[in-house]
Structure 1
Amino acid sequence: MGQRRVLEVLIPARFVLTVGHLVAMLMIAYTKRENLFAGLPVDPSNTRLDKAKKEFEIAYILSLICFAFDLFGIFFGTSIFFVKMNLLQIICHFTGGVMVSLMIEQAWQYQYIWLILAITNFPTAFFEIAILIAIFGLNIIVF
């Protein structure tokens, strides 16, 4: 299978899986309460609940920032023709979509959002930023 044929499959798959993972992450805002109470004692104090909410919101915002970099790479084409980058994005966003869906459906503890971020969002955003720096900052890759 030639490079062109591979890209014809990888690029749409990357887009669909990235958007699917993003939608799942947006949906987790509706189950935040269940996830918070799953990770707290039976009768948490207000300060402990507020701290947990703040931690969850920070993780949520960081995930959206990571998605912004991923979508920038798709829509502006900076990393769209790198086969290995597309494979990384596909694997991470498939895994992330499944994990977030399970977190919603099974009401996992809110702390697991950090694990999901570390496995699925941070690596893709890191490599997306690295490609942006290589293209626009260091002029290593001709765009």
Structure 2
Amino acid sequence: MWKNLIFCVVLVAFVAVPFADSLTCSKCNSPSGCKSPSSETCSNSTANANKNFLEGYHSNVPTVNGSLNFSCANLTYYHAANYTHTFEFLGCVFNETNVCNLSLNNTSSGWSKKCLTCGTDYCNPAGTFSSSVYTILGSAMAVILAKALS
């Protein structure tokens, strides 16, 4: 009985820990800065700061008066002819911002846009261990622990 209880507690702990933390995104706001982005934890203050930054380049960034729904965004504008990046943004945004539907202030011809929003840690641009990896590792450790206690 105690073995099963310990097994379940350890398994729940490993599965729940990744979900207890806030969303963490890669962070940069220039093509050169995005070669080695920093990270930021999503909060109303970080999403508002990124909203203010995006307003410098886009005309239709909505105002969100606080939210608990965040996404990681990867927004890149480039010249299609030679794939020269002219603008790049990685960071935390409110879900309601709809980053991929923002209109660029400067509408020079020949620009293309690449955009991604996602909801897991560091999913913009490169992923890290996902929750499933934590679950697999937690399950393996729980099985080893159960075997050791038997």
TM-score by length of 1: 0.28
**Going by fraction, where is helix more abundant, 1 or 2?**
1
Larger RCO, structure (CA 8 Å, separation 6 or more) = 1
TM-score by length of 2: 0.27
**Going by fraction, where is strand more abundant, 1 or 2?**
2
Q: Which has the larger radius of gyration?
A: 2
